[in-house]
């Protein structure tokens, strides 16, 4: 079983689809229960991944390799490393919560809703574990359709506009990536990611710098739209705001990470020169995203839109960390991807609970909610604090690692980015103040019921995850470290090769490179600081 673990994890949710189809359409209880059971089982099985993962091994693990379309040289190649491992876990962790939060909120076409959620889970996990470019693209596009339906059918007032905008934006980016994938295939003769990496690294395949830049651009555009990076972010507020709660959780929690994951997996190791050349521009865009996203979030009158804009800001941090090219900042970026998934997912869950009660997101409709709903609002505050990176909660680790990592290479970037951390305190606390504190201004709010048992379960799970990620961060960073170093090592080597002037060092190179020595030692220092 262990050799097929990834296949099982990837396709188990899909198995739930025929199970749900067999149920009567109006048997809502059992549809929900089965969907939840499958997603919980999925999470439990995915924990085996963590158990069997070898943290000091830089190679892909749990690999599976079969022919799929032999004539076209397309393979079914799965595997995880320290980068994708936790993203898979994040997906399997958030999906049951997304199902749980839709328990009461979704009343129409219940069957279709849960089928969409399960399909999307398969597609997202598929993206994270695919090691064949076309298989990756296959799953990448597959995420779009269920999300399109989630927004378009079960979304709010402007759902159709948001759904169409979402899908056209992402498709435009991904279709050019497809062309780049095919082009890369023509040059390298394979779709296999480790294979291409090895060929580029050893100089078996040389990319002319012009070609490399174009290929990088095509990949990066697709990922930057997904993230979304600053000028390409306009689909996000609409999609997140109009989506049903579960859709927002999945969108913000996992789907945005598909973009940053793609940058780490493809843009950096495959096109290191282009990445280095474009990094100054990308870094600036990321910082603009951080500050701009935070400022726009501050002035929102719609609570859900506010949370949506925080994603633009937080994901800016992630992109900045990636393109600062230091071990720490990249580790921080990966950590921030996870912690943003949990915190923002939790924020959307909280906002969704408010919406279930009042059917509005307008901040001015709320106020003084702490009195009628002490439990819900305390958890809400806790989640907001985690999102604004209060030590020792999860948000802090990621942002801090990114900032110190970036500071090593670009002082000014780190300084600008740090302002985003301050702004996040402003918009979140101010929003919380307006929603939670003060007098109850709207009469209806006086009688709102506090969190139900189901909601408490969701909130407690989230809170535990937030604390756990904050205090036990080495569990995560330790497993990422080798892969991160390996990633940077791949970039270094490729750089040496593509510049024939600097000869390859004659010394033996271990499989796991220590990476740039300065960075490695700094990692240890920084982590010691981070540990509470």
Partner 1 sequence: MTPFPPEQLANFHRLAPEIILCVFGIVIMVADPFVQAAHKRALGWLAFIGTLAALFGVRILANDAPGTAYSGLIRADAFSVFVHVIVIGAAALAILGSFQYLDDENIQRGEYYALVLFATAGMGILAGANELVTAFIGLEMSSISTYVLAGFRRRALKSNEASLKYFVLGSFATAFFLYGIAMVYGATGTTRIDVISGKLAQMIVEHGQVASLAILGLALMFVGLGFKVVAAPFQVYAPDVYEGAPTPVTALLASGPKAATFALMLRIFYVSFGSAGNFWFWAIWISAVLTMLVGNFAALVQTNVKRMLAYSSIAHAGYILVAFAAGTDIGITAVLFYLAAYALMKIGAFLVIAHLGQQGEKRLEITDYAGLGTKQPVLAVCFSLFLLSLLGLPATGGFLGKLFAFQAALDSKIVWLVVIAAINSVIGAYYYLRVIVAMYFWEPSKDYVPTKVAPSLTFALAIAAAGTLYLGLLPARVLEMAKAAADSLYLR
Please answer whether residues 451 and 373 qualify as being in contact, where contact means their C-beta atoms are separated by less than 8 angstroms: yes
The CB-of-351 to partner 1 minimum distance in angstroms stands at: 23
Closer Cβ to partner 1, 30 or 172, answer by number:
172
Tell me 54's DSSP state.
Answer: -
Instruction: Please provide residue 192's backbone torsions phi and psi, each rounded to the nearest 5 degrees.
Output: -75, 125
| Maximum pairwise Cα distance, the chain | 77
* Residue 251 near residue 150 (C-beta atoms within 8 A): no
Which residues does residue 77 pair with via DSSP β-bridges, in sequence order?
65
Closest approach of partner 1 to the CB of residue 68, in Å: 8
Q: Report in angstroms how near the CB of residue 182 gets to partner 1 at its nearest.
A: 5
| Closer residue to partner 1 in complex, CB, 93/139 | 139
Q: In this complex, which beta carbon is closest to partner 1, that of residue 181 or of residue 286?
A: 181
Taking the complex as a whole, the smallest distance from the CB of residue 29 to partner 1 amounts, in Å, to 21
Taking the least distance from each CB to partner 1, the nearer of 148 and 223 is 148
Pairing of strands 61-69, 74-80: antiparallel
Residue placing its CB nearer to partner 1 in the complex, 93 or 166? 166
CB of 222 to partner 1, least distance (A): 12
Name which of 183 and 430 has its Cβ closer to partner 1: 183
Burial 231-246 (b: 16+ CB within 10 A, else e): ebbebbbbbbbbbbbb
Q: Which helix (H) or strand (E) holds 38?
A: helix 28-52
Nearer to partner 1, 75 or 314 (CB): 75
Contacts (Cβ under 8 Å, ≥6 apart) of 220: 263, 267, 278, 282
Nearer to partner 1, 45 or 164 (CB): 164
Beta bridge partners of 80: 61
- CB distance 321 to 330 below 8 Å: yes
SS3 category, 362: strand
Give the nearer residue to partner 1 in terms of CB position, either 148 or 271.
148
Q: How far apart are CA 326 and CA 402, in angstroms?
A: 9
Distance CA 171, CA 481 (A): 33
How far apart are CB 76 and partner 1 at their closest, in Å?
11
Cβ count within 10 A of residue 439: 7
The nearest distance, CB 69 to partner 1, in angstroms, is 5
CB of 141 to partner 1, least distance (A): 5
CB of 397 to partner 1, least distance (A): 36
Q: Which residues bind partner 1 (CB under 8 A)?
A: 67-72, 109, 134, 137-139, 141-142, 144-145, 148-149, 152-153, 159-160, 163-164, 167-168, 171-172, 175-176, 178-179, 182-183, 185-186
Instruction: Copy the structure tokens of residue 65.
Output: 């390799």
Tell me which H or E stretch contains 74. Answer: strand 74-80
């Amino acid at each position: 079983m262990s050799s097929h673990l990834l296949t099982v994890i990837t396709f188990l949710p899909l198995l739930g689809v025929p199970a749900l189809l067999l149920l009567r359409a109006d048997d809502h209880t059992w549809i929900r229960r089965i969907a939840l059971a499958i997603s919980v089982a999925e999470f439990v099985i995915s924990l085996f991944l963590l158990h069997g993962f070898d943290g000091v091994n830089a190679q892909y693990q749990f690999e599976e390799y079969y022919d799929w379309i032999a004539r076209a040289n397309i393979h079914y190649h799965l595997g995880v490393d320290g980068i994708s491992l936790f993203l898979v876990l994040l997906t399997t962790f958030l999906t049951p919560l997304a199902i749980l939060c839709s328990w009461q909120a979704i009343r129409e076409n219940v069957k279709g809703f849960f089928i969409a959620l399960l399909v999307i889970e398969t597609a997202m996990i598929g993206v994270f574990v695919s090691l064949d470019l076309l298989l990756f693209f296959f799953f990448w596009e597959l995420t779009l359709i269920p999300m399109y339906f989630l927004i378009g059918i079960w979304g709010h007032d402007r759902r159709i506009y948001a759904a169409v905008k979402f899908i056209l934006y992402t498709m435009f980016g991904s279709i050019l990536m497809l062309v780049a994938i095919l082009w890369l295939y023509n040059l390298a003769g394979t779709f296999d990611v480790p294979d291409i990496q090895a060929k580029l690294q050893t100089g078996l395949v040389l990319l002319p710098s012009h070609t490399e830049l174009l290929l990088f651009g095509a990949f990066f555009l697709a990922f930057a739209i997904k993230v979304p990076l600053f000028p390409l972010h306009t689909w996000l507020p609409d999609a997140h705001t109009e989506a049903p709660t579960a859709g927002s959780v999945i969108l913000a929690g996992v789907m945005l990470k598909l973009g940053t994951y793609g940058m780490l997996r493809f843009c950096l190791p495959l096109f290191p020169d282009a990445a280095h050349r474009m990094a100054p521009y990308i870094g600036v865009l990321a910082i603009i995203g951080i500050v701009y996203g935070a400022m726009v979030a501050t002035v929102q009158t719609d609570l859900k839109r506010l949370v949506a804009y925080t994603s633009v800001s937080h994901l800016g941090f992630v992109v900045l960390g990636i393109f600062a090219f230091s071990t720490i900042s990249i580790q921080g970026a990966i950590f921030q991807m996870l912690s943003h998934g949990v915190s923002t997912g939790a924020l959307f869950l909280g906002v969704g609970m408010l919406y279930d009660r009042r059917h509005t997101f307008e901040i001015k409709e709320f106020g003084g909610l702490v009195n009628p709903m002490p439990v819900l609002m305390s958890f809400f505050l806790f989640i907001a604090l985690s999102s604004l990176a209060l030590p020792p909660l999860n948000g802090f680790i990621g942002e801090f690692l990114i900032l110190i990592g970036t500071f090593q290479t670009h002082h000014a970037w780190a300084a600008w980015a740090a302002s985003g951390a301050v702004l996040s305190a402003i918009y979140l606390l101010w929003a919380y103040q307006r929603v939670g504190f003060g007098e109850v201004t709207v009469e209806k709010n006086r009688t709102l019921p506090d969190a139900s048992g189901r909601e408490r379960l969701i909130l407690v799970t989230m809170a535990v995850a937030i604390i756990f990620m904050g205090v036990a961060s080495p569990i995560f960073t330790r497993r990422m470290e080798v892969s991160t170093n390996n990633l940077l090592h791949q970039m270094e080597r490729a750089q040496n090769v593509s510049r024939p002037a600097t000869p390859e060092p004659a010394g033996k190179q271990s499989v796991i490179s220590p990476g740039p020595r300065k960075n490695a030692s700094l990692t240890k220092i920084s982590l010691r600081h981070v540990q509470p």
